[in-house]
Amino acid sequence: MPRLEGRVALVSGAGRGIGASLARQLAAEGARVVVNDLDAGPAQATVDAIAQAGGVAVACPGSVTAEDFPRRFIGTALDSFGGLHIIVNNAGYIWNAPIHKIADAQWDAIQDVHLKAPFRILREAYAHISSAVASETAAGRRVQRKVVNISSVSGTRGSAGQANYAAAKAGLVGLTKTLAREWGRLNVNVNCVAFGFIETRLTQEIRGETAIEIEGRRHRVGLLAQGRAATVAQIPLGRAGSPDEAAGGVLLLCLPEADYITGQVLEVSGGLTM
């Protein structure tokens, strides 16, 4: 029997890369998945891939920083599947610069997507979770729920040129540990996964102009070949991680086998940060 049968999972930023891999893995374990992405096309592509594999998912596209997003995200889970058991805050992007070149708007944008958005989603989820737990307790049942916030080794170890991103990801660690203390009585495990060097469009080798578009702004992404090689040389496993491998680290914390793990930061980095 699939280990997440009967569970409802929400994954932000799941139209591409690690998020898409995680959505597929959760569905393969039996969870019904609410797939978010900034763009409707990639979100639906993940939903379609899950359906083709025999799973169940619905799309909830849109920016996680939008004022109404938390209500829509949680509401989609409740309206479509009647429950809420797993929340993975994965959406995000980078907008790098040394600190003396980071404008306030650049700082605020990265804090909003990586730290404020997860906070607002979890705050919105509280009312449903507390109500569901009260009903389950009255019926003599204990249902374990899971929150996994996606951080980065930039947040746990620091990263030159990423003061805004590193600060937001470090803040997410603090949010994780605090919520683990607040929500333990609700049978919610709250953990954090910090990724190292994973093969995504943000870490691709720069060939010409590589950029992504976020809400009308173009952001240059990617790494120079020599920078990528230098990073890989420091990884004990000798290579970057794949999106599936990164997602596997998150899946571990969503499974019943992790029911007594909370308030922890798991670095999925191939040994880069050991």
Strand-pair partners of 217: 214
- Cite the active site residues: 165
CA-closest candidate to residue 14, choices 32, 36, 29, 31: 36
| Distance in angstroms (rounded) separating the CA atoms of residues 168 and 116 | 9
Residue with tokens 């049978």: 187
Helices (H), 204-265: 225-233, 243-254
Cβ atoms within 10 Å, residue 56: 15
Taking CA 270 as the corner, what is the angle to CA 264 and CA 274, rounded to the nearest 5 degrees? 60
- Do 92 and 109 form a contact (C-beta atoms < 8 A)? no
What order of strands is seen across the sheet that includes strand 188-195? Answer: 56-59, 32-35, 8-11, 86-89, 145-152, 188-195, 265-268
6 phi and psi angles, rounded to 5 deg: 85, -5
